[in-house]
Amino acid sequence: MRDDVGIELAGLRKRFGETQALDGMTFTVRPGRVTGFVGPNGAGKSTTMRVVLGLDTPDAGHALVGGRSYRSLRSPLTRLGSLLDAGALQPSRTARNHLLWLARSQGLPARRVDQVLEQVGLAGAARRRAGGFSLGMRQRLGIAAALLGDPPALMLDEPFNGLDPEGIRWIRGLLASLAAEGRAVLVSSHLMGELEDVADHLVVVGRGRVVADTGVRELLAGVAAGRVTLRTSAPLVAAEALSGTGAAVQVTGPETLGITGLPGEAIVARLTAAAVPFAELSTHRATLEEAYLALTGDAVQYRSADAAAGVER
């Protein structure tokens, strides 16, 4: 593993007028895995990427690509490939010419342009004006630009936007294979579901700072460990039996209880001891979406509303 090819952010702060867009953003993107960069709209994901690319200057902190600041790189596209805004191109220029000037700027040969066009599946549309492209084709062209310099690190902002299911499947495969080649890959999204099965690692942000920086497996396990669904014909008796154990019990249906704060085995032991009949006990296999909601402020509100509804019933 090459340790010097990652992306490293330390204490980034950036204020736009009244808004503190970045408030001490700190994390590292390591090679060989896909790092998901998640957070609600306005959490500072795009600003972070713009700071990494030297487009915005941070008020404090620094961002390094392979140990160097982006603006000091001589051929930056060979160190970090990026996709910020797929619409940022001259509509009257053909796709090939758009990549051609980018290649020239890095001292790359024109044949590299044809290679990446082939790779993203745009070879047939290479000589068409990019202005006539669909959103999905523009995303592919943007990804082609990111791949152009064969960089050890990639940073893609919302690459799933505008793609059809086939396109989404394609990009997931691409991201996985790029990481498998030992590259550092950072992919942002405001929908956790899009990163399901792709991301190995997650950086969850909110209000300009990192909320969680964790492996996907650990995150899922943490959430899953906490939640158990119990089906029983005597929910009230079961709730009685579990009182005093530190578990929080919610009535989630006429014959179901949601239990948190107590592992499944302990619940089984307890219910068996109290001779409470139960039909089914399932340890919840959380989706990434739920794990994400568990980490963000919105999730707290959502859960309390849910709980209130449950009690009323």
Partner 1 sequence: MSGLHPAGFRRACRAEWTKLHTEAGHGWLMVALVLVTAGVGAAVSANVPCPVAGCGQDQVRLSLAGVSVSQVLAAITAVLLVGGEYGTGLIRTTLVAMPGRGTVLAAKATVLGGAVLAVGSVAVLASVLAGRLLLPGAGYTPAHGYARLSLADGPTLRAAAGSVLYLVLVALLALGIAAAVRDAAVAVGVVLALLYLFPLLGHVVTEPHLQRLLAQLGPMPAGLAIQATANLHHLPIGPWTGLGVLALWAAIALFLGGAILRLRDA
> In the Cβ-directed half-sphere of 90, how many Cα atoms lie within 13 Å?
10
Distance CA 50, CA 44 (A): 10
Structure tokens at 93: 């220029």
Q: E strand or H helix at 150, and its extent?
A: none
Query: 94 and 132 in contact (C-beta within 8 Å)?
Result: no
- Residue 228 CB, shortest distance to partner 1, in Å, is 48
Count of Cβ atoms closer than 10 Å to residue 119 Cβ: 15
Query: In this chain, which stretch among 76-84, 116-124, 251-259, 294-302 interacts with partner 1, using CB under 8 A?
Result: 76-84
Length of the chain: 313
Distance CA 304, CA 7 (A): 38
Residue appearing with tokens 């008020």:
59
87 lies in the site for partner 1, by CB under 8 A: yes
156 lies in the site for partner 1, by CB under 8 A: no
Choose between 46 and 250: whose C-beta lies nearer to partner 1. 46
Choose between 55 and 123: whose C-beta lies nearer to partner 1. 55
Choose between 99 and 262: whose C-beta lies nearer to partner 1. 99
Interface pick for partner 1 out of 26, 97, 119, 260 (rule CB under 8 A): 97
- What are φ and ψ of residue 3, in 5° steps? -75, -20
Interface pick for partner 1 out of 88, 221, 269, 308 (rule CB under 8 A): 88
212 lies in the site for partner 1, by CB under 8 A: no
Interface pick for partner 1 out of 17, 41, 74, 124 (rule CB under 8 A): 74
- Give the closest residue to 25 by CA, choosing from 60, 56, 68, 72: 60
Helices then strands (H, E): number in the chain?
A: 11, 13
Distance CA 211, CA 213 (A): 7
Distance CA 160, CA 153 (A): 19
Question: What character string, x for contact with partner 1 (CB under 8 A) and - otherwise, covers 44-73?
Answer: ------x--xxxxx------------xxxx
Choose between 71 and 217: whose C-beta lies nearer to partner 1. 71
- Give the closest residue to 49 by CA, choosing from 31, 36, 59, 63: 63
Provide the 3-class DSSP secondary structure of residue 227.
strand
Choose between 80 and 205: whose C-beta lies nearer to partner 1. 80
Interface pick for partner 1 out of 2, 60, 91, 302 (rule CB under 8 A): 91
- Residue 114 CB, shortest distance to partner 1, in Å, is 15
> Hey, which residues between 106 and 125 contact partner 1 (CB under 8 A)?
106-107
- Residue 14 CB, shortest distance to partner 1, in Å, is 9
Choose between 30 and 50: whose C-beta lies nearer to partner 1. 50
Choose between 19 and 90: whose C-beta lies nearer to partner 1. 90
**If binding means CB under 8 A, how many residues of this protein chain bind partner 1?**
34
**Alpha-carbon dihedral 102, 107, 76, 98, rounded to 10 degrees:** 0
Structure tokens at 134: 């669909």
> Hey, which residues between 130 and 149 contact partner 1 (CB under 8 A)?
145
Interface pick for partner 1 out of 2, 19, 62, 104 (rule CB under 8 A): 104
- Residue 85 CB, shortest distance to partner 1, in Å, is 6
Query: Under the rule (CB under 8 A), what is the footprint of partner 1?
Result: 50, 53-57, 70-77, 82, 84-85, 87-94, 97, 100-102, 104-107, 145
